[in-house]
Amino acid sequence: MMAPLNQECLEKQYSPETKNDLMFKAIESSGITKTFGPTMALDNISFSINESEVFGFIGPDGAGKTTLFRIITTLLLPDEGNMKVLGMDCTSEYKELRKNIGYMPGRFSLYQDLSVEENLNFYATVFGTTVKENYELISDIYAHIEPFKKRLAGKLSGGMKQKLALSCALIHKPRLLVLDEPTTGVDAVSRSEFWDMLGKLREYNITIIVSTPYMDEAIRCDRVALIQNGKILSIDTPQKIRAGFSRKLFTVKSVEKYKLIKTLRKNPEILTAYPFGDSVHVTFINDTSENFLFEYLVKEGISDAVIQEAEAGIEDRFLELMNKGE
């Protein structure tokens, strides 16, 4: 098993490209396929994740994120393909791997009838450590729930449950942190706080992989993989993924949202028109200027349209890639 290369060493001596190649890969996967009955949950998935990276898997339900995470954490065996996690084979070396992973599965999976404290102590003990030993790792997170430490876990709010689950996953200072949809169903404020907490963990050299259906969370990651229907659509830094958008993107705003969408869809020059919050994102078959569009809308009875060229976001790119796949 390769020893992780010293961070400082890398900074001083190597160029960025070489650095990437030389860095210890926390996860290396090639050709992973998994089928459940007639459904192919994962289709020939290959990727690699660097040590200490914050890596996001972005995709909706049914994309295959949970299946992939279960293979990474050795809970499922792939039908085909190879995967090495922390340098160990995920099939044959599962016993050793399970000691080094902190796992937070999809739904809340801590003991509802034990208190916050009791849950934390339990997981610390199971991993052969104590809460005190690694407390500094979770101190920021735990601070939010410490006032409730005697409360039963089942009686916590969604956001607090999430923080407790994260604390329990971290308490044994794992080398790899696997978080399966930790922000799903939780309100926007708690989601944002959660990502702040993850950001602070960077200094501990823990590799973090997160899955989420929320596209806007992609920019909080170092690199992301867009995943849909068991296939990876794209892997890169969020910035590069956005830059990969192949056309010009325009935003159109009007008070009458529904009428605007219907009108835009009718126009044969328009390739896609998707509602995005308070505006509609439009692409053209041939990249044209916005003037013709304004005139067209006025003719159709929409006179207050505000049209601007805009930079594509991750979701725009996701939609583009999804459409290409069909």
Partner 1 sequence: MKRFLGFVKKEFLHIFRDYRTLFILFGIPAAQILIFGYAVSTDIKNAGVAFLDLSHDEVTQKLTDKIISSGFFKKTETLLNYSDIDKVFKKGKTKAVIIFEDDFGKKLVSEGKATLSIIADGSEPNTATLVTNYTTAIVNDFASEFAGPTLNNSIRISPEVKMLYNPNLKSHFMFVPGVITLILILICALMTSVTITREKEFGTMEVLLVSPLRPIQIILGKVMPYFILSFINVLLILVLSWFVFGLPVKGSLMLLLAECMLYILMSLTLGILISTVSKNMQQAIFISLIGLMLPTILLSGFIFPIENMPKIYDYVSSVLPPRYFIVIIKNIMIKGTGLMYIWKETIILIIMTLVFIGLSVRKFKIRLE
Partner 2 sequence: MRNQVITVKNLVKKFGSFVANDNLNFDVSAGEIFGFLGANGAGKTTTIRILSGLSKPTSGDVNVAGFDAYRQTEQIKRNIGYMCQKFSLYEDLTVKENIILYGGIYGMNKSLIKERLAELLAKLRFQKYENKMISDLPLGLRQKLAFSVAVLHEPKIVFLDEPTGGVDPITRRQFWEMIYETAASGITVFVTTHYMDEAEYCDRISIMSEGKIVALDSPERLKKQYNAASVEEVFIKIARPN
Which single residue is written with the structure tokens 């501990």? Answer: 204
Kindly state the tokens that stand for 290.
Answer: 């916005």
Closest CA to 4 of 74, 52, 70: 52
Are residues 2 and 84 in contact, defined by beta-carbon separation less than 8 angstroms?
no
Helices in 244-281 by DSSP H: which ranges? 257-266
Nearer to partner 1, 85 or 224 (CB): 85
Nearer to partner 2, 102 or 313 (CB): 313
- Rounded CA separation 227/29 (Å): 15
In this structure, which amino acid lies at residue 106?
G
Could you tell me the smallest distance in angstroms from the CB atom of residue 299 to partner 1?
50
Which single residue is written with the structure tokens 């990249």? Answer: 287
At 285, phi and psi to the nearest 5? -65, -45
**Residue 319 in the binding site for partner 2 (CB under 8 A):** yes
Question: Looking only at residues 92 through 121 of this chain, which bind partner 2 when binding is defined by CB under 8 A?
Answer: none
- Rounded CA separation 165/145 (Å): 11
Q: Which of 76, 249, 264, 302 binds partner 1 (CB under 8 A)?
A: 76
**Residue 112 in the binding site for partner 1 (CB under 8 A):** yes
Nearer to partner 1, 74 or 263 (CB): 74
**Residue 190 in the binding site for partner 2 (CB under 8 A):** yes
- Rounded CA separation 296/252 (Å): 13
**Residue 101 in the binding site for partner 1 (CB under 8 A):** yes
**Residue 103 in the binding site for partner 1 (CB under 8 A):** yes
Closest CA to 232 of 219, 241, 243, 245: 241
**Residue 108 in the binding site for partner 1 (CB under 8 A):** yes
Could you tell me the smallest distance in angstroms from the CB atom of residue 324 to partner 1?
33
Residue 111 touches which member of partner 2, partner 1, none, C-beta under 5-8 Å by kind: partner 1
Residues contributing to the site for partner 1 (CB under 8 A): 70, 73-77, 94, 98-99, 101, 103-112, 123, 126-128, 168
Please give the residue ranges that form the binding site for partner 2 (CB under 8 A): 59-63, 157-159, 184-190, 192, 213-215, 228, 257-258, 261, 274-278, 315, 318-319, 322-323
